[in-house]
């Protein structure tokens, strides 16, 4: 693992690191904020999964998470959204290929060799982070924005017992029922829609739910709200009687202005779960 940068940040350290990924068969870069408490021992960790077109850097520099994470003594990991580099498949559309990994393990040509973001985020990167930094693997939470909110909800429900809490900002809530989702799931996983279901938060919520608290925020003025389909997830939450807070925030859109506005709420929400035992 190579250290690209480490900067003092709210009493802790904001680092950027690069390593050779076995899952993605290329070099991958991630950001990691460690609060001051990490000098004394392992700290809880919040995983932040970013959305379409993003790298590790977008949320790291725009979301405002470090100030609130430092206050709560929580580490934050900012993975990249896809494999990258020479020889990695890409597409002319911004919502497919590099920058648009959708947090799945691709089975189709030309994506399968590198686009294994599920294994990378769920297995490889957590092992690397806990081996090299003061992270308490028994106290993990997960959040994300847009495509990353889709990934966060899916991982939380597909990996029972891993995360104490899950939240999402404007998640792709029902990708099997929207153009944002059907296009990518078909490209990465093939035409059998049964293979798509485990990557649809609304279906997972109806069938499995999450053993812990859930927080969802979406801007009521989100320009992509018809593609996000928050109503599908809200209905699944209500039918399952899931422990959840589901909010439509008036006036807010899909941008990082929206994310940064409600980041304090989300960090506080996760801190309560991470320190609750």
| pLDDT higher than threshold 90 for residue 54 | yes
Q: 30 — phi, psi (to 5°)?
A: -140, 155
- Provide the whole-model pTM: 0.97
Q: What is the CATH number of the domain that holds 164?
A: 3.40.50.1820
CA distance 46 to 32: 10
DSSP 122: I
Tell me what pLDDT residue 277 has: 67
| pLDDT higher than threshold 70 for residue 253 | yes
| Total number of domains in the chain | 1
CA-to-CA dists, residue 144 to 50, 77, 115, 148, 210, angstroms: 6, 11, 19, 4, 16
| 274, 164 contact by CB (below 8 A) | yes
Label residue 152 by pLDDT band (50, 70, 90): very high
Q: Which tens digits make up the pLDDT trace of 58-100? A: 999 999 999 999 999 999 999 999 999 999 999 999 999 999 9
Domain that holds residue 12: 2-275
| Enzyme catalytic residues | 146, 222, 254
């Amino acid at each position: 693992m190579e250290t690209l940068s480490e900067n003092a940040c709210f009493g802790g350290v904001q680092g950027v690191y690069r390593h050779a990924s076995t899952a993605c068969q290329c070099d991958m870069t991630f950001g990691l904020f460690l609060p001051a408490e990490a000098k004394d021992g392992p700290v809880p960790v919040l995983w932040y999964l970013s959305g379409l077109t993003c790298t590790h850097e977008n949320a790291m520099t725009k979301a405002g998470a470090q100030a609130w994470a430092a206050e709560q003594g929580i580490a934050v990991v900012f993975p990249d959204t896809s494999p990258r580099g020479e020889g990695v498949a890409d597409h002319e559309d911004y919502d497919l290929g590099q920058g648009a990994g959708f947090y799945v393990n691709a089975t189709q040509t030309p994506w399968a060799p590198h686009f294994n973001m599920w294994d990378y985020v769920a297995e490889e990167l957590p092992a690397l982070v806990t081996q090299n930094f003061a992270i308490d693997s028994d106290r993990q939470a997960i959040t994300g924005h847009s495509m990353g909110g889709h990934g966060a909800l899916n991982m939380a429900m597909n990996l029972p017992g891993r995360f104490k809490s899950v939240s999402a900002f404007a998640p792709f809530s029902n990708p099997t029922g929207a153009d944002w989702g059907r296009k990518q799931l078909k490209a990465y996983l093939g035409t059998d829609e049964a293979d798509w279901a485990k990557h649809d938060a609304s279906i997972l919520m109806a069938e499995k739910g999450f053993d812990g608290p859930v927080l969802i925020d979406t801007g009521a003025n989100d320009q992509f709200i018809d593609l996000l389909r928050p109503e599908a997830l809200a209905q699944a939450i209500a039918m399952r009687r899931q422990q959840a807070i589901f909010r439509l925030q008036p006036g807010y859109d899909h941008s990082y202005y929206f994310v940064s506005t409600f980041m304090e709420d989300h960090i506080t929400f996760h801190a309560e779960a991470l320190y609750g035992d």
